[in-house]
């Protein structure tokens, strides 16, 4: 193992515990010592480091839960159960692959694409729970990925019959029992009310199993909080559409995630922002002040338990919502403490600008702060907040005048018939703010752009290549994003035809959980040659033996006699959702910094990440690589990762997928129908935050249409909002083979 590999692996292992969320605890964990351990579950031996598709990273090694616990000193007493599960799963997988191949054939599609991201529901099994010891751990895994969405069926979003049966049996059978969730998104845990210890491990990259062992033994502690709402499947909002092939209507408007739950007064099983620890904390607001439009809340966080830990203070605000209907509350600011010893405390200052709370008033094409009371709510999750202050705006204030430019859907946004009110406490001091202190901006459209001097005089036929890149008609390899010539396994390159004009080719590598490159390669006078098939491993099993041999020939895997084999093992970092669950922007920037170092090492210029679409529906297959259901979290964490990457000279991040990319079914031609209000207040807001705070060098459009227009062709989306309103200065690229989808749509 190279020095950078070990260094980066250590970084991930150190950071990852902050990304885990303790959902339930009775104090049985962490353990005081190792010993006999009964280990069960789909993820015990088949632990997942991340999702599939572009999110796959070709690491040298990966530590499973079984390996991590054994390395920590535990004796696993359930080898017979684990072996039996492997046999059951292998047979189920054979049937699943055969069924998908048959469906692909009937649909006249390649099986590798038809099955990309497909989730095999957890198979039922009947294996005896006969492990020794007084402690048991059940690791439940769920895979998800690019190309397919999840389903609310047993073995996916719902628990399978045998999972539910065995988890409840183990909880009753063993003196100490821990349910570990090695998942990329929510599952319905409502049948498991008796289970007293539940850890959302998530998917943490290269050393997931070692991190689990560290948490079980107390060498590290969980301090994460949820960034999406976990509840029973039946609890989620059903007003918006999902899963239609052609048109998907976002009827729920701005009532996404906790904005829905909190507004209708429905308590989620595990609310947005929820997270426990091995210790306990108290939060106390001890001062609210204003300076112009800025609001500051001082919060004292005290560790009231017996172990060290870290806590996150969350500040939500209820806006007047009279002229423009608004959710009960929305996250306005957050901050995380340093490590606090038992009994120690720290004072955090949470701050926000009132203009950041403006709602989009589509009727007047403006962002509006209504006159009235802005109720400040402090808590450790969205469902358990207490009013800590009131800011009163003396008159309406328009923060930005723009224009409606995103199209009009064929519906009116849903609003709750009855909504929780913003109760006031008379004992609280009201801070008066003058609308005159709120700045107003006017968006300027139709900007004139100067041609870069380096391009003046370059013939148009050469400039055209700058738009299409180094495309060589590579068929299947180009289709799957493996068209690199200078770096093996890279997703593609810009053209080398402008090198004499001072524009050398740029190498692009996929993400978003680290660089996706070929592990090994050879070099000759024709360039680099990957020593593998060059497509994500999750797609390989869908190929027949004949197709595998064909891929080997196409890739020319067999090195020439005397050729030297080179290595480029990348590091898998935690998935996007896990990074955001840390609620620690410094951690996110450190992950970006790690990727930037490897970009420099391997010769990659553009990383096709981070992704910051909204967790609109828990069924979306790519939610694992997105950060949150909340746009503030999404924008802040995308910006932090971008800063980490771009502190390395010559390295660029690519924020994606712009925009309303919240479904994988028919993703190239699905039409996201969204109101101007919902787009601006929910689905575009994170992109605006990211652009303003980090100015990413690249941005990728999504495959879908927005209100009837492909996003890659949407002037209102790209020119009017992205460049003129957000002030974006970087390059805009399409996703791979987008033109094919546009042409097929007609």
What's the pLDDT at 457?
Answer: 83
Residue 470 half-sphere exposure, CB side, CA atoms within 13 Å?
Answer: 21
What's the pLDDT at 273?
Answer: 98
Residue 101's pLDDT band (cuts 50, 70, 90): confident
Cβ-based neighbours of 13, under 8 Å, separated by 6 or more: 207, 210, 211, 214
With 50 as the cut, is the pLDDT of residue 379 above it? yes
Please confirm whether the linkage preceding 145 is cis (ω < 30° from 0): no
* Percent of the chain whose predicted confidence (pLDDT) is above 70: 92
What's the pLDDT at 502?
Answer: 84
Do 599 and 736 sit in the same domain of this protein? yes
What's the pLDDT at 479?
Answer: 46
Do 639 and 721 sit in the same domain of this protein? yes
Do 213 and 291 sit in the same domain of this protein? no
Point out the domain boundary residue: 424, 442, 460. Answer: 442
Q: Distance (Å, rounded) from C-alpha 373 to C-alpha 389?
A: 10
What's the pLDDT at 360?
Answer: 98
Q: Distance (Å, rounded) from C-alpha 2 to C-alpha 599?
A: 15
Point out the domain boundary residue: 442, 463, 493. Answer: 442
- State the Cα torsion 154-156-158-161 to the nearest 10°: 40
Mean per-residue pLDDT of the chain: 92
Q: Distance (Å, rounded) from C-alpha 213 to C-alpha 13?
A: 11
Domain count, the chain: 3
Q: Is residue 355 part of a domain?
A: yes
Token representation of residue 479: 């289709």
pLDDT in tens, 649-668: 999 999 999 999 999 998 88
What's the pLDDT at 534?
Answer: 60
- Report the DSSP beta bridge partners of residue 392: 373, 432
What's the pLDDT at 581?
Answer: 98
**For the whole model, what pTM was predicted?**
0.95
Do 207 and 289 sit in the same domain of this protein? no
**DSSP assignment letter at 580:** H
Residue with tokens 């990659």: 604
Do 422 and 296 sit in the same domain of this protein? yes
Buried b (16+ CB within 10 A) or exposed e, 69-87: bbebebebbbeebbeebee
What's the pLDDT at 438?
Answer: 96
Point out the domain boundary residue: 406, 427, 442. Answer: 442
What's the pLDDT at 743?
Answer: 46
736 close to 483: Cβ distance less than 8 angstroms: no
147 close to 104: Cβ distance less than 8 angstroms: no
Q: Distance (Å, rounded) from C-alpha 35 to C-alpha 135?
A: 9
Do 164 and 294 sit in the same domain of this protein? no
Q: Is residue 721 part of a domain?
A: yes
User: What is the pLDDT averaged over residues 298-321?
Assistant: 98
Residue 740's pLDDT band (cuts 50, 70, 90): low
CATH of the domain at 190: 3.40.50.1700
CATH of the domain at 595: 3.20.20.300
User: What is the pLDDT averaged over residues 233-245?
Assistant: 95
Chain centre distance of CA 234: 23
User: What is the pLDDT averaged over residues 358-363?
Assistant: 98
DSSP SS3 for 528: strand
* Highest mean pLDDT, choosing among 1-5, 486-490, 517-521, 625-629: 625-629
Do 217 and 290 sit in the same domain of this protein? no
What's the pLDDT at 472?
Answer: 53
Torsion sign across C-alpha atoms 75, 81, 84, 86: negative
What's the pLDDT at 118?
Answer: 81
With 60 as the cut, is the pLDDT of residue 355 above it? yes
Do 217 and 297 sit in the same domain of this protein? no
What's the pLDDT at 117?
Answer: 74
Q: Is residue 394 part of a domain?
A: yes
User: What is the pLDDT averaged over residues 117-143?
Assistant: 93
Q: Distance (Å, rounded) from C-alpha 167 to C-alpha 196?
A: 11
Residue 537's pLDDT band (cuts 50, 70, 90): low
**DSSP assignment letter at 192:** G
Residue 744's pLDDT band (cuts 50, 70, 90): very low
Q: Is residue 561 part of a domain?
A: no
pLDDT in tens, 387-446: 999 999 999 999 999 999 999 999 999 999 877 765 666 678 899 999 999 999 999 999
Q: Which of the two residues, 609 and 448, has the higher pLDDT score? A: 609
* Percent of the chain whose predicted confidence (pLDDT) is above 90: 76
Do 297 and 206 sit in the same domain of this protein? no
Residue 736's pLDDT band (cuts 50, 70, 90): confident
Do 713 and 593 sit in the same domain of this protein? yes
Lowest mean pLDDT among 57-66, 168-177, 329-338, 533-542: 533-542
What's the pLDDT at 677?
Answer: 98
What's the pLDDT at 424?
Answer: 63
Lowest mean pLDDT among 141-145, 308-312, 422-426: 422-426
Do 602 and 688 sit in the same domain of this protein? yes
**Cα distances (Å, whole numbers) of residue 495 to 460, 483, 675:** 14, 12, 38
Q: Distance (Å, rounded) from C-alpha 64 to C-alpha 139?
A: 10
pLDDT in tens, 68-85: 999 999 999 999 999 999
Give residue 355's domain range. Answer: 279-442
Q: Is residue 496 part of a domain?
A: no
pLDDT in tens, 579-616: 999 999 999 999 999 999 999 999 999 999 999 999 99
With 50 as the cut, is the pLDDT of residue 714 above it? yes
What's the pLDDT at 80?
Answer: 97
Helix (H) or strand (E) holding 75: strand 75-76
User: What is the pLDDT averaged over residues 670-678?
Assistant: 97
Q: Is residue 486 part of a domain?
A: no
Do 421 and 345 sit in the same domain of this protein? yes
Sheet harboring 281-291: ordered strands across? 281-291, 294-303, 345-353
pLDDT in tens, 452-506: 888 888 888 888 888 877 655 444 444 444 567 789 889 989 888 888 888 899 9
Q: Is residue 689 part of a domain?
A: yes
CATH of the domain at 288: 2.60.40.10
Q: Is residue 537 part of a domain?
A: no
* Intra-chain end-to-end CA distance of the chain, in Å: 51
Lowest mean pLDDT among 149-153, 509-513, 669-673, 707-711: 509-513
What's the pLDDT at 230?
Answer: 98
Q: Distance (Å, rounded) from C-alpha 165 to C-alpha 643?
A: 46
Q: Distance (Å, rounded) from C-alpha 405 to C-alpha 418?
A: 31
């Amino acid at each position: 193992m190279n020095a950078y590999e070990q260094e980066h692996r250590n970084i991930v292992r150190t950071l990852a515990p902050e990304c885990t969320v303790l959902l339930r605890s009775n104090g049985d964990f962490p353990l005081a010592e190792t010993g006999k351990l009964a280990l069960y579950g789909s993820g015990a031996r088949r632990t997942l480091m991340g999702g599939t598709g572009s999110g796959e990273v070709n690491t040298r090694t990966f530590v499973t839960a079984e390996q991590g616990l054994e390395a920590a000193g535990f004796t696993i007493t359930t080898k017979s159960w684990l072996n039996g599960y492997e046999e059951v799963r292998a047979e189920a997988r054979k049937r699943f692959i055969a069924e998908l191949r048959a469906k692909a054939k009937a649909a006249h599609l390649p099986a590798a694409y038809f099955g990309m991201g497909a989730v095999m529901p957890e198979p039922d099994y009947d294996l005896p729970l006969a492990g020794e010891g007084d402690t048991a751990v059940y690791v439940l895994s769920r895979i998800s990925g690019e190309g397919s969405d999840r389903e609310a069926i047993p073995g996916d979003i719902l628990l399978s019959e045998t999972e539910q049966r065995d988890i409840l049996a183990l909880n009753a059978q063993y003196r100490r029992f821990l349910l570990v969730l090695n998942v990329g998104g929510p599952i319905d845990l409502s049948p498991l009310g008796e289970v007293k210890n539940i850890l959302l491990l998530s998917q943490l990259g290269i050393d997931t199993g070692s991190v689990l062992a560290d948490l079980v033994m107390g060498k590290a502690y969980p301090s994460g909080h949820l960034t999406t709402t976990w509840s029973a499947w039946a609890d989620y909002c059903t007003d918006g559409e999902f899963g239609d092939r052609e048109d998907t209507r976002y009827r729920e408007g701005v009532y996404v995630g906790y904005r829905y739950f909190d507004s209708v007064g429905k308590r989620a099983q595990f609310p947005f922002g929820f997270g426990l620890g091995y210790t306990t904390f108290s939060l106390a607001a001890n001062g609210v002040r204003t300076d112009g439009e800025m609001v500051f809340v001082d919060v004292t966080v005290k560790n009231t338990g017996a172990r060290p830990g870290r806590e996150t203070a969350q500040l939500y605000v209820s806006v007047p919502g009279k002229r423009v209907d608004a959710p009960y509350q929305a996250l306005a600011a957050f901050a995380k403490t340093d490590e606090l010893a038992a009994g120690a405390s720290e004072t955090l200052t949470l701050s926000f600008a009132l203009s950041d709370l403006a709602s989009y008033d589509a009727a007047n094409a403006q962002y509006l702060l209504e006159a009235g009371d802005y109720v400040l709510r402090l808590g450790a999750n969205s469902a358990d907040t207490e009013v800590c202050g009131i800011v009163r705006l003396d008159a309406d204030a328009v923060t930005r005048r723009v224009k409606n430019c995103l199209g009009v859907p064929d519906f009116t946004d849903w609003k709750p018939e009855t909504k929780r009110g913003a109760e006031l406490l008379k004992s609280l001091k009201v801070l008066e703010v003058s609308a005159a202190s709120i700045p107003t901006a006017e968006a300027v459209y139709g900007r004139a752009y100067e041609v870069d001097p380096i391009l003046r005089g370059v013939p148009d036929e050469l400039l055209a290549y700058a738009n299409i890149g180094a495309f060589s008609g590579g068929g299947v390899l180009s289709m799957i994003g493996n068209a690199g010539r200078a770096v093996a396994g890279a997703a593609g390159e810009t053209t080398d035809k402008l090198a004499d004009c001072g524009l050398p080719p740029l190498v692009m590598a996929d993400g978003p959980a680290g660089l996706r490159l070929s592990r090994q390669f050879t070099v000759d006078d024709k360039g680099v040659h990957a020593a593998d098939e060059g497509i994500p491993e999750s797609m390989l099993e869908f190929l027949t033996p004949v197709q595998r041999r064909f891929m080997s020939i196409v890739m020319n895997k067999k090195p020439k006699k005397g050729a030297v084999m080179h290595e480029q093992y990348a590091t898998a970092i935690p998935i996007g959702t896990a990074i955001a669950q840390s609620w620690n922007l410094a951690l996110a920037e450190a992950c970006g910094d790690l990727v930037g170092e490897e970009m420099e090492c391997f010769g990659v210029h553009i990383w096709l990440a981070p992704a910051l679409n909204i967790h609109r529906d828990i069924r979306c297959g790519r939610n694992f690589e997105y950060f949150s259901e909340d746009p503030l979290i999404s924008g802040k964490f995308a910006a932090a990762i971008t800063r980490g990457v771009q502190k390395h000279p010559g390295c660029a991040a690519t924020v994606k997928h712009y925009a309303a990319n919240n479904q994988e079914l028919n993703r190239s031609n699905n039409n996201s129908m969204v109101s101007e209000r919902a787009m601006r207040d929910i689905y575009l807001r994170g992109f605006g935050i990211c652009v303003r705070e980090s100015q990413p060098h690249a941005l990728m459009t999504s495959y879908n249409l927005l209100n009837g227009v492909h996003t890659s062709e949407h002037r209102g989306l790209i020119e009017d909002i992205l460049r003129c309103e957000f002030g974006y200065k970087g390059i805009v690229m399409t996703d791979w083979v987008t033109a094919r989808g546009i042409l097929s749509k007609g």
